[in-house]
């Protein structure tokens, strides 16, 4: 299949099982090449092809707000780049977040095979607020996506920084003055005073 039908097939197929568009720049390039090949040298693109390609390009542009973190997110999650991009797009989905406290929201993910047994998700903290004091018996890895996190020495760590806590360590996770959104892989999480329920599968993204 080539030409606009191929491009439309790419567009229609570029939706994941959560209903989020997952068109990427390579998809647009492939579609452009197929349309050009179908039209022939020097010929005008078939009717509708230009509009479709414009829509694909716009989708890529708007979906890439956190694109710069895709490679680091994929490494942290043990996931493909496409899956990492899907996860990053969930940041802007209000329906994906759970409110634990007025200052603390979480978004829970299905762990990839490489992270089996870990708690995987994203955390959103209001400015200068904290995820309560907790222990990670199996360690913790965090990728800051937006805002900043403050370490125990008071230093701020901004977007793109990966923070690693050793197994058995305990601490609060404190947001900087602009708040924070971060991706976390935690093993053996214990929050003293909190009973952490096992989430229903339908709440895992």
Cα atoms found within 13 Å of the Cα of residue 136, Cβ hemisphere only = 22
Cα separations (Å) of 159 from 3, 76, 111, 122, 179?
Answer: 40, 14, 22, 14, 12
Q: Quick check: 204 pLDDT over 50?
A: yes
Position 57 confidence tier, pLDDT thresholds 50, 70, 90: low
Q: Do 37 and 72 reside in the same domain of the chain? A: no
Number of domains in the chain: 2
Q: Is residue 203 over pLDDT 90? A: no
State whether 16 and 103 are in the same domain: no
pLDDT grade for 195, boundaries at 50, 70 and 90: confident
Q: Which of 131, 127, 120 is nearest to 173 (CA)?
A: 131
Q: Which domain holds residue 133?
A: 68-203
Cα–chain center distance at 69 = 8
Last residue of a domain, one of 29, 46, 63: 63
For residues 81 and 177, state if they share a domain: yes
Q: Are residues 55 and 115 in the same domain?
A: no
For residues 147 and 163, membership in a common domain is answered with yes
| Domain identity same for 28 and 74 | no
Average pLDDT of span 66-77: 96
Does 24 score more than 60 pLDDT? no
The answer on 72 and 18 residing in a single domain is no
Distance CA 79, CA 115 (A): 9
Where is the domain boundary, 63, 97, 115? 63
**Rounded-to-integer distance, Cα 172 and Cα 154, Å:** 12
Domain of 140, CATH number, reads 2.60.120.10
Same domain, 85 and 40: no
Under DSSP, the state recorded for 112 is: P
Are residue 80 and residue 58 in the same domain, yes or no? Answer: no
84 and 176 assigned to the same domain: yes
pLDDT at position 119 over 50? yes
Residues 121 and 171 in one domain: yes
4 or 168, which is more confident?
168
Maximum average pLDDT range among 3-7, 20-24, 113-117: 113-117
Q: Are both 189 and 172 inside the same structural domain?
A: yes
Q: Which of 18, 34, 63 is the last residue of a domain?
A: 63
Average pLDDT along the chain: 81
């Amino acid at each position: 299949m080539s030409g606009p039908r191929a491009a439309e097939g790419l567009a229609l197929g570029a939706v994941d099982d959560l209903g989020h568009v997952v068109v990427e720049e390579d998809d647009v390039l492939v579609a452009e090449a197929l349309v050009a090949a179908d039209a022939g040298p020097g010929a005008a693109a078939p009717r509708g092809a230009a509009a479709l390609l414009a829509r694909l390009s716009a989708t890529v542009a708007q979906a890439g707000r956190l694109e710069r973190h895709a490679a680091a997110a994929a490494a942290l999650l043990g996931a493909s780049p496409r899956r990492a991009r899907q996860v990053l797009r969930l940041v802007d989905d209000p329906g994906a977040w759970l409110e634990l406290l007025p200052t603390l929201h979480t978004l829970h993910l299905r762990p990839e095979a490489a992270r089996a047994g870990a708690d995987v998700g994203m955390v959103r903290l209001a400015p200068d607020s904290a995820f309560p004091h907790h222990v990670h018996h199996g360690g913790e890895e965090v990728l800051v996506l937006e805002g900043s996190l403050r370490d125990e020495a008071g230093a701020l760590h901004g977007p793109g920084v990966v923070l690693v806590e050793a197994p058995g360590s305990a601490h609060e996770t404190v947001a900087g003055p602009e708040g924070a959104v971060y991706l976390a892989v935690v093993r053996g999480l214990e929050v003293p005073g909190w009973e952490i329920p096992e989430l229903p599968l339908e709440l895992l993204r």
